[in-house]
Amino acid sequence: MERNFRAGRGGEIDIVCRKEETIVFVEVKLRKSFTKGNPRESVTSFKIKRMIFAAKCYLNIHREFSDMNYRFDFIGISYDKDTPKIDYIENIIESSEF
């Protein structure tokens, strides 16, 4: 539905998509090396707060989705030599945090 949705300086959602009756907010992180850790380690509590803020902004703008379910997913892409490894995690943020 949308890529790189920005909520001003308050946060960003890399991908907003829909799976059936669920709006999915997706964080994507690419790591070409592990000097900064694996991609999953980039999802800190600060990042989670910014993702939630951006998602709330998105839903406020797009009120037509207000009755739908939502979730936060994560895609981590890392490389082992030249071979990409893709990790997909559904529901990376508990709904109680939102």
Quick one: pLDDT at residue 81? 78
- Residue 97 phi, psi dihedral angles, 5° rounding: -75, -20
Q: What integer pLDDT is reported at residue 10 of this predicted model?
A: 84
Read off the pLDDT of residues 87-98 as tens digits, 9 standing for 90 and up.
999 999 876 566
Residue 72: Cβ within 10 Å count: 23
pLDDT at 93: 84
What is residue 5's predicted lDDT score, i.e. its pLDDT?
97
Structural domain that includes position 7: 2-97
Number of independent structural domains in the chain: 1
d(CA 14, CA 26): 6
pLDDT in tens, 15-66: 999 999 999 999 999 887 666 667 888 888 899 999 999 999 999 999 999 8
- CATH code for position 47: 3.40.1350.10
Collapsed DSSP state (helix, strand, coil) of residue 24? strand
